């Protein structure tokens, strides 16, 4: 078992609160610097995102610069170039899919029917030079973030519910939502190689690379039917808000959520028939 999370720790936090844990992936041959250079040139280019590492903690835009050299070259020169690199949806690569499954199979078994069970599994690698900052944002999914090399400070907290709702609606169920203000009631987790943090959906966070070493992190992400329904409710709320209405946020009415998610399912099915 690579991710050392026991049933009691998970149950105590209910998939809602962050907690630290340890893992056994430090030194794994699939996550060495050399292996990541090869991986970054092997996966589709659309799965590689690069950004400048010297971003402010508040940077509420998803705009990213275009790649100006091969991903492998950037990974090799991350420190000199002052770049930050994310390799996303690594489950498309057979070697990485095997690693993601090795890590998440035991978690899947432990979670049982939590939120309807684990559906989609994803893997991400983040490479950042010393001093790099990932600006304040929300993610949509459950995330086990594992530190492989270097040190990271992960600051987690909450934002105003209205801002949280608007941010989630703007994401329409995918990607991450940049925040225009810093999270409140924050808690800090310092991650060294072998450490990890569980980041629950909707938890605002910022990440800083600490010390003089390159930071390499491996992120194991999973979806559930509850989250998928939430994505549809956020999409419905996004449209309702554009009509000038003030929709109830996801989770405040089971009946309302079912209706909105059903309407979005029907609309998307009809739209795909019209456009196919």
The binding site for Fe ion (CB under 5 A) comprises 139
Of 37 and 145, nearer to Fe ion (C-beta) is 145
Output the CA torsion sign for 171, 178, 159, 10.
positive
Question: Whole-number minimum distance, CB 220 to Fe ion, in Å?
Answer: 13
Q: 135 or 247: whose CB is closer to Fe ion? A: 135
Question: Least separation, in Å, of the C-beta of 212 and Fe ion?
Answer: 24
Nearer to Fe ion, 142 or 260 (CB): 142
For Fe ion, which residue has the nearest CB? 139
Q: Which is nearer to Fe ion, 219 or 237 (CB)?
A: 219
Give Dmax over CA atoms of the chain in angstroms: 55
- If the CB atoms of residues 91 and 139 are measured against Fe ion, the closer one turns out to be 139
- Annotate 123-137 with b (16+ C-beta within 10 A) or e (fewer): bbbbbbbbebbbbbb
Query: Residue 207 Cβ, how far from Fe ion at the closest point, in Å?
Result: 7
User: Least Å distance between CB 128 and Fe ion?
Assistant: 13
Residue 37 or 136 with smaller CB distance to Fe ion: 136
DSSP string across the chain? --EE--HHHHHHHTTTS-EEEEES-TT-GGGSHHHHHHHHHHS-GGGEEEEES---S-------PPP-S-HHHHHHTHHHHTEEEEE--GGGSHHHHHHHHHHHHHHHHHHTTGGG----EEEEEEEE-TT-EEEEEEESSEEEEEEEESEEEEEEEE--HHHHHHHHHHHTTSSEEE-SS--EEEEEEEE-TTEEEEE-TT-EEEEEEESSS-EEEEEEEE--HHHHHHHHHHHHHHHHHHTT--PPPTTS-HHHHHHHHHHHHHHHHHHHHHH-
Q: Which is nearer to Fe ion, 122 or 139 (CB)?
A: 139
What is the smallest separation between the CB atom of 265 and Fe ion, expressed in angstroms?
A: 28
The closest alpha carbon to 224, from 201, 203, 202, belongs to: 201
Which residue lies nearer to Fe ion by CB, 23 or 205? 205
To Fe ion, the closest distance from the beta carbon of 162 in angstroms equals: 21
User: Minimum CB separation from Fe ion for residue 48, in Å?
Assistant: 17
Q: How far is the CB of 79 from Fe ion (least distance, A)?
A: 22
């Amino acid at each position: 078992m690579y991710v050392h999370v026991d049933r009691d720790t998970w149950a105590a936090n209910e998939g809602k609160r962050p907690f630290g844990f340890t893992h056994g992936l430090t030194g794994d041959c699939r996550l060495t610097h050399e292996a990541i250079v090869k991986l970054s040139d092997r996966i589709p280019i659309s799965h590689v995102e690069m950004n400048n590492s010297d971003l402010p903690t508040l940077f509420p835009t998803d705009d990213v610069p275009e790649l100006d050299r091969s991903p492998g070259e950037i990974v090799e020169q991350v420190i000199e170039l002052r770049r930050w690199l994310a390799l996303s949806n690594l489950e498309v690569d057979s070697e990485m899919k095997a690693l993601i499954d090795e890590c998440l199979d035991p978690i899947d078994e432990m979670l049982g029917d939590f939120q309807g069970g684990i559906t989609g599994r994803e893997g991400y690698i983040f490479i950042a030079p010393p001093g790099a900052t990932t600006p304040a944002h929300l993610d949509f999914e459950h995330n086990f973030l594992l530190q492989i090399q270097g040190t990271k400070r992960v600051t987690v907290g909450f934002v105003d519910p209205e801002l949280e709702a608007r941010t989630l609606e703007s994401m329409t169920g995918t990607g991450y939502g940049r925040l225009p203000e810093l999270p409140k009631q924050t808690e800090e987790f310092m991650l060294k190689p072998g450490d990890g943090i569980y980041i629950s959906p909707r938890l605002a966070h910022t990440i800083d690379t600490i010390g003089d070493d390159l930071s390499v992190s491996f992120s194991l992400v999973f979806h559930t039917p509850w989250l998928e329904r939430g994505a549809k409710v956020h999409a419905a709320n996004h449209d309702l808000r554009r009509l000038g209405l003030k929709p109830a946020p996801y989770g405040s009415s089971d009946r309302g959520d079912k209706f909105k998610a059903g309407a979005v399912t029907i609309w998307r099915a009809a739209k795909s028939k019209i456009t196919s």
